A = this chain, B = another copy of it.
Amino acid sequence: MNQKTTKPAARPTAREKLLDAAFSVIREQGYSATSVDDLCRTAGVTKGAFFHHFPSKEALAVAAANHWSEATGAFFAAAPYHDPKDPLDRVLGYVDFRRAILQGDVPEFTCLVGTMVQEAYGSSPDIRDACRASIFDHAANIERDIAEAMAERGINNAGWTARSLALHTQAVLQGAFILAKAEGTADGGANLAAQSVDHLRRYIEMLFTTEKLSHAA
């Protein structure tokens, strides 16, 4: 389209710095607990700049959720798990990839939109919609590989759909993040989350190997 949207520029604008700040600060403190001043301080920008680029704090949250969709979309699109010919290997590769990136402190591997939607689902439809789109669009990518794997193995009418399994993967991840937050210690959280992802992987494997043998529900 135009240069503005495609080129993040050498010297980042206040808008980009604020969105980056939102990624880290909101994941650490939550949305409501994060003040506009917090974001400005982290971004190294003044309040005037904030309200020049965003009409409200809520609008920044929506923009951050959309920016999160783009950033994670590019991140997962560039990940290596898309290579295998067998769609099931791609699905399992995705799960393995999600497990591998569970590292560092909790705010570093948790999900911005999952955090935000918890706080905003009742008070701000705009934020909720942006977060929903981020989660569900991401799930739709996995759904495609799952559907292919099902087709290849002749699985249908099994009591579950590609869509429900794709959404289940997201539920497991979001839930794993909550347990990680509750756990408290640095690595402890990541390990805890990883164990849930292990269960998820085992489930998907069993789902496809068992169903292969007898796919009569």
Interface residues, chain A, CB within 8 Å of chain B? Answer: 28-33, 106-107, 113-115, 117-119, 121-123, 125, 128-129, 131-132, 135-136, 159-160, 164-165, 167-168, 170-176, 178-179, 181-184, 192-193, 195-196, 198-199, 202-203, 206-207, 210
Which 10 pairs from chain A and chain B are nearest by CB? A175-B175, A171-B175, A32-B32, A174-B175, A121-B181, A30-B119, A32-B33, A203-B203, A132-B182, A171-B196
When A123-B29, A178-B117, A179-B174 are in contact, do A196 and B184 touch as well, CB less than 8 Å?
A: no
Main secondary structure of the interface of A (DSSP, over half): helix
When A160-B202, A165-B199 are in contact, do A178 and B175 touch as well, CB less than 8 Å?
A: yes
Number of copies of this protein chain within its complex: 2
In the complex, which residues of chain B have a beta carbon less than 8 angstroms from the beta carbon of A165?
Answer: 199
When A30-B32, A32-B30 are in contact, do A122 and B136 touch as well, CB less than 8 Å?
A: no
Within the assembled complex, what's the spacing in Å between the Cα atoms of A115 and B164? 23
